[in-house]
Structure 1
Amino acid sequence: MKIIDIYILKRYLVTFSVMLLMFIPIGITIDVSEKVNKMIEKKIPLKDILIYYGDFTIYFANLLFPIFLFLSIIWFTSKLANNTEIIAILSSGISFARFLRPFIFGAVIVSIFALLMGFFLVPKASKGFNDFRYQNLKGNSQTRETSDIFRQINKEGKLEENIYVSNYNYISQTGFNFTYEKIIDNKLIEKVIANRIKFNEKTKDYTLYGYNKRIVGVDNDQITINDKINVSYNFEPDDLTPVIYVAETMTIGQLNSFIDKERERGNGNINTYLVVFYKKFSLPISAFILTIIAVAVSSMKRRGGMGINLAIGIVIAFTFIFFDKVFGTLAEKSSIPPFIAVWFPNLVFGILATYLLRNAKR
């Protein structure tokens, strides 16, 4: 690797790191200013707060990773252009493609780092970040609840088992208006209704309150009523939690196994899990695309100086984020295949990167 490659690669990585170190404390400061009163009111231990902001740092950095990367490249490449360093490099006989090589090396390093974070670190940080917020910082309601949850927990041949909960509290692991149905050959065989269901962490079973069980017979039905009873079912509390929340807290291996299990169950919300799964791979690839776009946009010396390049960069970066969020939502709520929806922004901006790169070479 030549001196020029080391010089550019060093500027690439240092500027990106400095950008993270600049904006993350700003994000923490804003978050503290919004939540300090609740933290004091609830007397949250300092140790828990420090752990929360450690998770917040990873979560925040991963969320805004494309913007940080893009703006950092725009910044230091524009400085190279304004100092006529790029003109000197190209005038020495180095082609634009050769000039781009250290930027690609930098993108490889950043992509590998982002990939490993998305596979292993971000899921744990996401769980800690969300758990802390919903236990301590959501006003008087220290819960995270979902409503109208229907799940098919088993389907084997003619056998089908379904559950329904009108409301589920993630923190206390308690559901309300619980219904269990066992169906064989499209005929209802057994139905259980309970006012409340609570998961027992130690025994791995469920306590049902206001229990009412009906077994459908040929002539007469068999009815069992109890105020409180412990029952084992073939589903876990994660089946009742918010789908995005669950997917975000799993490592790549756990998420892959979870998706396979949900497919077997015929879960209608499988697209939500697939969006999270595919984004773990698409986000690192975006580092290459954004790097090429940033270099192509900022390598030309403009009359407006660095400000024009930064303005263009901000517009492109937020457009990329907008595309990413919109198509991710469409995949979850419509019939668009999740793979296409997640990778479509990279495809569009990949075409844009190719176009800008050709113009930059000229």
Structure 2
Amino acid sequence: MKILDWYILKRYLITFLMMLLLFIPIAITVDLAEKVGKMLEHNAPFGEVSTYYLNFTVYFANLLFPLFLFLSVIWFTSKLANNTEIVAFLSSGVSFSRFLRPYLIGASIVAIFALVLGMYLAPIASKGFNEFKFKYLKKNKQVQKTQNVYRQINDNDYIYVSSFTPKRKSGMNFTYEHFEGNELKYKIFADNIRYIEEDSSYKLTTYVKRSFENGVETLEKKRNINIKFPFELEDLTPVEYAAETKSYGELLDFIAAEKRRGSPNIGRYEVVLQKKWSLPVSIFILTIIAVAVSSVKRRGGMGVNLAFGIAIAMVYVFLDKIFGVMAEQANFPPLIAVWFPNFIFGILAIYLLQNAKR
């Protein structure tokens, strides 16, 4: 690697790091100013608050990684252009494609780090971040689906509760159905179901079991009974942010299991899965756009490039959020929703790159 490559690569990585070190403390300060009242009101321990902000740092950095990089590339490339350094590079016979090479090397380094962060570290941070938020900051908010929970547990078993109270670990109007093939073998009803933590069983009140064998129906009734079922307590109370807290392998298994259970949140889970791959790709796209936009010396100087860059960043975030919500709340395909912003900005990157070469 030549001196030019090392010079640009060093500026690329250092400026990006400085951008992170600048904005993350600002984000922590703003978040703390907004939430310190609730933390004091709910007596959040200092140790848990410190851990929350450590998780917040990783969560926040993973969320806005490409945008920090985009702005940092515009910043230092604009400085190179204003100092006529880029003109000197290109005048020495270096092609624009060759000039772009250290940027792509830097993007590869950051993309690999973002991939590892998103696959393994961010899920751990997301779990701690969300647990603290719903424990101390959103105590009255519902983090779990508790009304009309209907789920397929495996190929043969289905459960339903009209309502479930996570704190009491009890639900109302419970139904359990067991099939073999397309034939219903038995069905259990109960007015109330409560989880017994000591032996991982469930206590059913006003228990009724209807069994079907060779066309003959048998009925069994009991006032109270303890039964062990082939499902976990979490199956009755699925956590809304569950997908964010799982590593890549765990997330694949989780989505497969949720599809078998007929979960209504598959769109949300698949958005999380696709973003683990789309974010590293966006780093390359936004790097190319940033170089193409800021490599030309303009009359307005660095301010014009930054303003244009911020506008592009806002459009990117807007598209990402809109299509993400569509995939989560509607039947819009998550694959298209997550990758569409990258597709649009990829075309923009090619167009700007061709103009920059000219």
Instruction: Report if TM-score (shorter chain) is over 0.5.
Output: yes
Q: CA deviation at 1:186?
A: 5.6
Q: Return 266-275 or 323-332, whichever deviates more.
A: 266-275
When the two structures are superposed, what TM-score results if normalisation uses the length of structure 1? 0.89
Q: CA deviation at 1:216?
A: 4.9
CA distance in 2, matches of 1:86, 1:165: 66
The one of 214, 220, 230 aligned to 2:209? 214
Once the two structures are superposed, what CA deviation does each residue of 1:227-267 show, in whole Å capped at 9, x if it has no partner?
A: xx543222223434456511100001111112222334444
Are the structure 2 counterparts of residues 361 and 237 from structure 1 closer, same or farther at C-alpha, using a change threshold of 3 Å?
farther
CA distance in 2, matches of 1:145, 1:265: 16
Query: SS of 1:154's equivalent?
Result: coil
Q: Does 1:144 align with 2:143?
A: yes
Q: Percent same amino acid among aligned pairs? A: 53
The one of 292, 299, 305 aligned to 2:301? 305
Q: Return 273-282 or 51-60, whichever deviates more.
A: 273-282
CA distance in 2, matches of 1:104, 1:209: 61
Are the structure 2 counterparts of residues 3 and 46 from structure 1 closer, same or farther at C-alpha, using a change threshold of 3 Å?
same
AA at the equivalent of 1:90? L
The one of 231, 247, 252 aligned to 1:251? 247
Q: Does 1:4 align with 2:38?
A: no
Matches within 5 A, 1:20-99: 20-99=20-99
Q: Return 145-154 or 236-245, whichever deviates more.
A: 236-245
Are the structure 2 counterparts of residues 49 and 177 from structure 1 closer, same or farther at C-alpha, using a change threshold of 3 Å?
same
AA at the equivalent of 1:37? G
Q: Return 316-325 or 234-243, whichever deviates more.
A: 234-243
1:354 counterpart residue number: 350
CA distance in 1, matches of 2:7, 2:130: 40
Please, which runs of 5 or more residues in structure 1 have no aligned partner? none
The one of 287, 291, 294 aligned to 1:295? 291
Query: SS of 1:145's equivalent?
Result: coil
Q: Could you say what the CA RMSD is over the residues aligned between the two structures, in angstroms? A: 2.3
Once the two structures are superposed, what CA deviation does each residue of 1:160-203 show, in whole Å capped at 9, x if it has no partner?
A: 42222344456x37353252231544657313224353363x64
Q: Return 174-183 or 12-21, whichever deviates more.
A: 174-183
Once the two structures are superposed, what CA deviation does each residue of 1:61-98 show, in whole Å capped at 9, x if it has no partner?
A: 11111211111111111111111111111111111101
AA at the equivalent of 2:220? Q
Matches within 5 A, 1:210-359: 210-216=205-211, 218=216, 221-226=219-224, 229-242=225-238, 244-359=240-355
Query: SS of 1:301's equivalent?
Result: coil
AA at the equivalent of 1:283? L
AA at the equivalent of 1:334? A
When the two structures are superposed, what TM-score results if normalisation uses the length of structure 2? 0.90
- On the 8 A contact 1:162/1:182 being kept in 2, the answer is yes
CA distance in 1, matches of 2:107, 2:203: 54
> How many pairs does the alignment contain?
352
Please, which runs of 5 or more residues in structure 2 have no aligned partner? none
- On the 8 A contact 1:145/1:169 being kept in 2, the answer is no
